[in-house]
Chain A
Amino acid sequence: MADAVVAEGLVKTYGEVRALDGLDLRVPEGTVLAVLGPNGAGKTTAVKILTTLIRPDSGTASVAGVDVIASPRAVRRTIGVSGQYAAVDEYLTGYENLDMVGRLYHLGAKQARQRARDLLEQFDLADAANRMAKTYSGGMRRRLDLAGALVAHPPVLFLDEPTTGLDPRSRTGMWQVIRDLVADGTSLLLTTQYLEEADRLADNIVVIDHGRLIAEGTADQLKSQVGGERLEITVSDGTQLRRAEELLTPLAVGAVVREDDRRGLLVPVDGGASQLADALRRLDAESIAVDDVGLRRPTLDDVFLTLTGHAAEDKDAPTTGHAAAKQESAP
């Protein structure tokens, strides 16, 4: 199968900041790649390079077999892009925005108009079609911007955080739109902060941090990379949390994550139910009461936490998972 997007060794620096530090990416044709990473990881920078907006300092990239750096205009004929911040013209109506984009894709006046109407319908914006985009809510603008990316039925789509700021209903709607596109053969690279989104939509996932790839694979592969099941425990008395951590560390196959704010521990284990019992015995022996205990499969949140040392939506340095932060990348 050919690759819709290939990037090798992308480097982009802004002064001292290495926004991308030798990033490799691949999107096989007709598949979805989700790029996960904390704030400042370099997701938007990668998207901007692949969509011809900026040039990398070094490295190569091609989209649909066309070199992004050498032939940006040819690349633009095959892509649809929706950036991280909705780029709609506030003084045009929703309809005029899409009609303009259609004309600039050279669809011809008639088709541009028809396409604009169809997309407004599809994205639930038909009622607001003739209102200035200035009067749209944030989510409506976001949808209009996404519709703009689809105007020319591009075979390769880039969506930078497409569902950030959408309400749950719009988000589910968006997922359906994306699934339909992919079913029709569109290749998609999307960045996201929502692990659930990557889990549901993506064939492949890459996790990046500091402009480097730190893990890649399918959702299942990534989950197994960070260990099997997790023991999730909430103790009744927060002051006993550290002692509980000490007691359970011998059972763990990876780093134990302590979450002080919810008096919780996450212990990666591989023995299933027998270790659940073992853990409870150990805590009971020191009279540490628990409010809640459970065994669950790892989520992508765990992957994220383990690999990057901080949660996906954390703006700051590691706050939870001090142990995870010390751990080297995937085993």
Chain B
Amino acid sequence: MSLFTPLADSLVVARRNLIKVKRVPDLLVFTTLSPIMFVLLFAFVFGGAIGGSVTPGGNASAYREFLIAGIFAQTVVFGSTITGAGIAEDVQKGIVDRFRTLPMSPSAVLAGRTLSDVMNNVIVLVVMSVTGLIVGWRIREGFLHAVLGYLLLLVFAYAISWIMAWIGLIVPSPEVVNNASFVVIFPMTFIANTFVPLTSLPGPLRFVAEWNPISTVTQAARELFGNIPAGGGLQTPSWALQNPELYTLLWSAVILAIFIPLANAQYKRSTSR
């Protein structure tokens, strides 16, 4: 038993999850196809209608530039439901029972799962970036900033995947995770600046959206990619929107601090049925 055992065990589990992605490509196809569809829909169908309000005198191509980071954020957050559903399935099928009777590191199953979903998200981000470039999105702030933008998206999604890991362990079946994520995450990604500028939202919704970490991760990515001026075009942006990187990292840290221990404690009690 060495210091590296937890890491080695996590990699074994992560590898297993990635093999599944390879064998059931539908999973990845679905998670990348739907954002590609979103890009095309919003860029070419709604783009003209919404576009004008993004920047003064804006147009559809300015909107496409605005849109991409929002779709990135929505997609990586949604990707975290794979973690939850995957874990719920492992519990249901008794795989967790098998793991829990092995002398492996008890934190490796969740660590491996959340790790493999980061790799999923990397693949998804690459596919979407290419789509973005095709429809006219550009990185304008240099390579380093862009990398930071991608990293922030990945960190935030990683934090959310620990919430989903915990949910996956407490629900009775994987379907519940999918439904719950649709009911909670889907609206959260819309009450934000992902698809429309915040100026277009009515009072209370706008307040929620200004403090929604999905807004700030989007805002941060946009700024780091050089797609939009700081502050999101608001006259008096919230503190969160003025410091989107910091605010997003704070949220990520708090989520990780709460849900890593919570999920691990729940894992130690999880068994089929």
- Contact check, B94 vs A83: say whether CB atoms are below 8 A apart: yes
Cβ of A132 under 8 Å from chain B: yes
Shortest Cβ gap from B258 to chain A (Å): 24
Chain A residues positioned under 8 Å from B24 (CB to CB): 91
Q: Mark B218-239, 1 if CB is under 8 A from A, else 0.
A: 0000000000000000000000
CB distance from B31 to the nearest CB of A (A): 17
Using A52-B101, A53-B100 as known contacts, say yes or no to A106 and B5 having CB atoms under 8 A apart. yes
Structural contact, A105 and B102, CB atoms closer than 8 A: yes
Q: A89-B16, A106-B5 are in contact. Are A76 and B102 (CB under 8 A)?
A: yes
The interface bits of chain B over 88-102 (1 if a CB of A lies within 8 angstroms of the residue's CB, else 0) are: 000001110111111
Within 8 A of B (CB), among A127-158: 132, 148
Contact of B100 among A52, A101, A103 (CB under 8 A): A52
Q: Judging by beta carbons under 8 Å apart, are B101 and A79 in contact?
A: yes
Segment 221-273 of B: residues with Cβ below 8 Å from A: 269, 271-272
A87 touching B97 by the CB < 8 A rule?
yes
Contact of A85 among B94, B102, B104, B106 (CB under 8 A): B94
B104-A104 in contact (CB<8A): yes
Contact A91 B97, beta carbon cutoff 8 Å: no
B19 at the interface (CB under 8 A from A): yes
A51 to B: closest C-beta gap in Å: 5
**Per-position binary interface string of chain A over residues 46-58, scored 1 when its CB falls under 8 Å from any chain B CB and 0 otherwise:** 0010011110000
A293 within 8 A of B: no
Asked if B98 and A87 sit within 8 Å, CB to CB, the answer is: yes
When C-beta atoms are compared, the residue in chain B nearest to A51 turns out to be B101
| B204 at interface by CB-CB < 8 Å | no
Chain B CB within 10 Å — which of A77, A106, A148 has the most?
A: A106
Residues of A within 8 A of B272 (CB): 83, 85, 87
On chain A, the number of residues with a Cβ less than 8 Å from chain B's Cβ atoms is 27
Q: Does A283 contact B (CB under 8 A)?
A: no
Q: Flag if B23 contacts A132 (CB, 8 Å).
A: yes
Q: Which of A219-273 contact B (CB under 8 A)?
A: none
Pick from A76, A91, A103, A148: contact of B19, CB under 8 Å: A91
Q: Which residues of B sit under 8 angstroms from A76, Cβ to Cβ?
A: 101-103
In the complex the two chains form, what is the Cα distance from A103 to B102 in whole Å? Answer: 10
The answer to whether A77 and B16 have CB atoms under 8 Å apart is no
Bound-state Cα–Cα, A96 to B13, Å: 12
Cα distance A126–B73 when bound, in Å? 46
Q: How far is the CA of A138 from the CA of B271 in the complex (A)?
A: 21
Give the distance in Å from the alpha carbon of A52 to the alpha carbon of B101 in the complex: 7
Cα–Cα distance between A103 and B95 once the two chains are bound (Å): 15
Contact across chains for B271 and A54 when beta carbons are under 8 A apart: yes
With both beta carbons as reference points, the residue of chain B lying nearest to A104 in the complex is identified as: B104
Verify if B12 is at the interface (C-beta below 8 Å from A): yes
Determine whether A23 belongs to the interface, using a CB cutoff of 8 Å to chain B. Answer: no
Given contacts A53-B271, A73-B103, A83 and B98 within 8 Å (CB-CB): yes
Complex CA–CA separation, A90 to B93 (angstroms)? 10
Say whether A86 faces chain B, with CB atoms less than 8 Å apart: yes
8 Å CB contact of B23 from A48, A81, A91: A91
Question: A81 touching B101 by the CB < 8 A rule?
Answer: yes
Q: A48-B271, A91-B23, A92-B16 are in contact. Are A101 and B101 (CB under 8 A)?
A: no
Query: Is A100's CB within 8 Å of the partner chain B?
Result: yes
Report the minimum CB–CB distance from B12 to chain A (whole Å). 5
Interface flag for B140 (CB, 8 Å): no
How far is it, in angstroms, between the C-alpha of A90 and the C-alpha of B92 when the chains are bound?
13
- In the complex where A87-B95, A87-B98, A100-B12 touch, is A106 in contact with B103 (Cβ < 8 A)? yes
Binary A-proximity of B126-141 (CB < 8 A = 1, otherwise 0): 0000000000000000
- Could you give, for residues 1-36 of chain B, a 1 whenever the CB lies within 8 Å of some chain A CB and a 0 otherwise? 100010011001000100110011000000000000
Q: How far is the CA of A92 from the CA of B5 in the complex (A)?
A: 23
Interface residues of B in 28-64 (CB under 8 A from A): none
Name the distance in Å between B25's Cβ and chain A's nearest Cβ: 11
Query: Digit string of A100-123 for contact with B (CB within 8 Å is 1, else 0)?
Result: 110111100000000000000000
Contact A104 B9, CB 8 Å, known A48-B271, A54-B271, A73-B106: yes
CA A100 – CA B99 in complex, angstroms? 10
Tell me which residues from 40 to 84 in chain A have a Cβ below 8 Å from any Cβ of chain B: 48, 51-54, 73, 76-77, 79, 81, 83
* Contacts known (A73-B106, A76-B103, A77-B103); A101 close to B19, Cβ less than 8 A: no
Give the complex CA separation of A51 and B19 in angstroms: 28
Most buried by A among B99, B104, B269: B104
Which residues of B sit under 8 angstroms from A89, Cβ to Cβ? 16, 20, 95
What A residues does B271 contact at CB under 8 A?
Answer: 48, 53-54
State the B residues within 8 Å of A (CB). 1, 5, 8-9, 12, 16, 19-20, 23-24, 93-95, 97-104, 106, 108, 269, 271-272
For the complex with contacts A52-B101, A83-B94, 13 further pairs of A-B residues with Cβ separation under 8 Å are A53-B97, A53-B271, A54-B269, A54-B271, A81-B98, A89-B20, A91-B23, A101-B102, A104-B12, A105-B102, A105-B103, A106-B5, A148-B98
